[in-house]
Amino acid sequence: MHSLTDLLWHNGKFLGIAWGVWKVVGWLGNAIFFSRFIVQWYATEKKQQVVIPQAFWWLSLIGSVTLLCYSLHRRDSVFIFAYAFTWVPYIRSLMIHRQHKANRITCAGCGQKNPPPSNYCPNCGGKLK
């Protein structure tokens, strides 16, 4: 009968994987990239409409760059190409988010920040300038 320790750690491998620094980098990249799914799902459930929060784009960027570094280390052309350009739309989305946030109009009546094309505050009904 094998103990739980024997099943997890066998022949110098944890979970059957020979671990090293680069293996940790690869798995960390996978974990970060996967976590964006949970963030987006949570935000959508909370608002009861499809929402892509800023954290989604940050996790996408960090996860994809981490996986690109891992794939470069492995010199796997398929893996490299898969992550070589994914960071471009992530950075662009972060830029758009930042620009949109900077252009918000603050309601003089209640202080709520509203998107630029708004004429009236949905919170208090006050006219926006």
Flag whether 128 is in a domain.
Answer: no
Going by C-alpha positions, the residue among 15, 50, 55 that lies closest to residue 35 is 55
Would 15 be classed as within a structural domain? Answer: yes
pTM: 0.75
Domain membership of residue 75 (yes or no) is: yes
Domain presence at residue 108: no
> One digit per residue, pLDDT tens: the chain, 129 residues?
667 777 777 777 777 777 889 999 999 999 999 999 999 999 999 999 999 999 999 999 999 999 999 999 999 999 999 999 999 999 999 999 999 888 888 888 898 888 877 888 888 888 887
Overall domain count for the chain: 1
The number of residues making up the chain comes to: 129
State which residues form the domain around 78. 4-84
The number of beta carbons lying within 10 Å of the beta carbon of residue 119 is: 9
User: Does 114 fall in a domain?
Assistant: no
For residue 126, being part of any structural domain is answered with: no
Question: Is 120 part of any domain?
Answer: no
Q: Flag whether 117 is in a domain.
A: no
